[in-house]
Amino acid sequence: MRTRCGWLVGLVLSLYGWAAMAGEPAAMGYYDQVQQARDEARAYIVAPHPGQQGLQQAVSILKRALQTLDQPNVMGLADGNDYLRSRRADVLRDLAAAYALQGNRSAALDALEAAQSEALYPVLASYYRQEKAFASLQNEPRFQAMLANLDQAGRLWQAKSLTGPYTPQLDEVHRIAGLSLFWSEAKYNFVHFDHVPQLDWDQVYLDFLPQVIAAKDTKAYYEVLMRLAPLLHDGHTNIYPPEALQSHFYARPPLVTGLFENRVLVTGVFSPALATKGLRVGDEITAIDGMEVHRYAQERVAPYASIATPQDGEVRMYDYGLLDGDADQPVTLTIRNAQGASRDVTLARKGYDEKWPTRFAFRMLPGSIAYLVLSHFESDAAVKAFEQHLPQIMQAKGLILDVRGNGGGNSDYGMRILSYLSERPIPFLRERVLSVSPYWRMQGQTMLEWRRLPDSGVPYVHSEPVHFSGPVAVLTGPRSFSAAEDFVASFKAMHRGLLVGRPTAGSTGQPLMFDLPGGGKARICVKRETSPDGEPFVGIGIAPDIQVITTVADIRAGRDPVLERAEQALENVDQADHGQDHQHEDHHENGKQHFGDGAGDAGQGAEAQPAGGQ
């Protein structure tokens, strides 16, 4: 993530997500002007032995900077640019430091109070206590009052009095407090209430209140509370039980399952112990603990799953959560094999020697096509895997990047990989947050406004030494989630190649994380994102250019029709069309595909700048 240089600016910008710098050219021109003045003044303030003459020069520079910021036209620009607006408080803090070093404590306190009247940044409390320039102010009552206000502002949003460590028996007061905390945080911060127009959130609170009061212990309490977040139908809005209880909710045998042609199949067996029980890829699960499997998924799994779209629900109900349960409670599966024979298999949910597939698998396919699985964006492992195989990729005639199983992480890693596919900046998502004005509420009007973030839509710029210019396909599916969807949205906006597979999950954004009573945690999606051209996909998913449906027969035959179709598309690229944008519908065998060149089409339609992190 990118920030502009300048003393304390990084600290202040942390409050805006350490976002990349953006804004209108005029606003950022004044920003740069003020930052340059601050840099000049700071040179005097931080000098080993600042003299009175130098400090007075710093004061003069900073006062002129304030005069610039107080011009009506600049104030108007600052209203629409968070970064320019926050510079006034920064200049005032610099001015306070210069005054304090001069020995003018009264003027220093005036400047600090003026800065604090702009905004309360609790993170500054430790800075004020440690900054040498303010050593002479530490015992001043006005200075102590400012510190107290900062500390109080920090406590206001930490809710430490409401939360606490795990205890098996959580008292009624804290059970109610946890419900109230999640309900209130969602009411004022959740960014997708328009996705659940029929939901009465106040009535939900009243419905859950007697349930949390009746919960006999902490485990029962979280069994109730975990059904709250799914009502918001958002994949980035969840309630998690305390770590001490997670084995009661999330233990499962190392099997991977999925829904194909409305049948639940085993798609991965990742323990020799399960193989010895006769479990095979392609086996159909028809019942769980004696209950028909679809009914089981609807009644036992769906109420606890934060589902964003039908395809996301398919994965959460029939894969991620299907076999979850108490580690001490085995699960009985009714299995029907490919020959139609049925039997019951009882499996423990713990105690396995697990053998999972290698992450970031790479191989060269026939036709000199490079294939790389981008397993996740949780770390820079995806970037390292891409760069490790870059020599082979650069020699390949085509490239397939597979994000079908990528659950996300930090968007920055995906952007870095895309930077190897184009010399131009990479288009990035447009981003907004919810804004509710107390002023309009006071006037008797309610308005929910989605305010554009200052880094919204600015292309991602990262210089790479080489760029792959051949045709590219990206494999997508309902497990492509969060930062992986950001990757897909940017790739699509580049007009750099084809999307092949199924629609993505339809959930991205950044969640607000907070603690709950008894050691649990919660998160609420607070950032609303659309594609670089403004097209919504949260709650919808990003559709592929070529849709490929995997069948029961494919699973049982060990075929990957999505990969096969992508290979076919790359092998059949019409070289005469190379360099044109692709726009087509999927005709499977007869579809004609067009691929952009390595320069791509990045930056078109983008309005301003990216940040990593989902």
Whether residue 9 is predicted with pLDDT greater than 70 in this model: the reply is no
Predicted pLDDT of residue 383: 97
Homologous superfamily (CATH) of 252-347 is PDZ domain (2.30.42.10)
Greater confidence, 589 or 533? 533
Helices 25-45 and 52-69 cross at an angle (nearest 10°) of 170
State the pLDDT confidence band at 24, using cuts at 50, 70 and 90: low
Phi, psi torsion values for 377, nearest 5 degrees: -120, 30
Indicate the Cα dihedral angle 124, 37, 65, 108, nearest 10°: 40
CB atoms near residue 298 (< 10 Å): 13
Whether residue 584 is predicted with pLDDT greater than 80 in this model: the reply is no
Fold of the 9-158 domain: 1.25.40
Q: pLDDT digits over 101-129, tens only? A: 999 999 999 999 999 998 889 999 999 99
Q: With respect to CATH, is domain 362-506+541-577 assigned 3.30.2420.10?
A: no
pTM of the model: 0.84
Among candidates 559, 563, 381, 358, which has minimal Cα distance to 475?
A: 563
Which sign does the torsion angle of CA 132, 133, 135, 141 carry?
A: negative
As a three-state string, the secondary structure of 496-548 is CEEEEECCCCCCCCCEEEEECHHHCEEEEECEEEECCCCCCCCCCCCCCCEEC
Whether residue 448 is predicted with pLDDT greater than 90 in this model: the reply is no
Predicted pLDDT of residue 511: 95
Side-chain half-sphere CA neighbours of 514 within 13 A? 25
Predicted pLDDT of residue 614: 37
State the pLDDT confidence band at 4, using cuts at 50, 70 and 90: very low
Among candidates 278, 395, 338, which has minimal Cα distance to 554?
A: 338
Distance CA(383)–CA(234), nearest Å, equals 28
Among candidates 540, 528, 547, which has minimal Cα distance to 587?
A: 547
Predicted pLDDT of residue 443: 86
Whether residue 10 is predicted with pLDDT greater than 70 in this model: the reply is no
Whether residue 176 is predicted with pLDDT greater than 90 in this model: the reply is yes
State the pLDDT confidence band at 258, using cuts at 50, 70 and 90: very high
Whether residue 330 is predicted with pLDDT greater than 60 in this model: the reply is yes
Distance CA(302)–CA(103), nearest Å, equals 65
Question: What average pLDDT does this structure show over 405-416?
Answer: 96
Phi, psi torsion values for 363, nearest 5 degrees: -160, 160
Predicted pLDDT of residue 447: 81
The domain locations on the chain are 9-158, 252-347, 362-506+541-577
Entry field: residues in the chain: 614
Question: What average pLDDT does this structure show over 39-61?
Answer: 93
Q: How far is CA 590 from the centre of its chain?
A: 37
Distance CA(517)–CA(214), nearest Å, equals 16
Q: pLDDT digits over 265-280, tens only? A: 999 999 999 999 999 9
State the pLDDT confidence band at 587, using cuts at 50, 70 and 90: very low
Indicate the Cα dihedral angle 128, 43, 37, 460, nearest 10°: -80
Question: What average pLDDT does this structure show over 86-94?
Answer: 94
Q: How far is CA 154 from the centre of its chain?
A: 24
Whether residue 539 is predicted with pLDDT greater than 70 in this model: the reply is yes
Question: Token pair for residue 494?
Answer: 């580049």
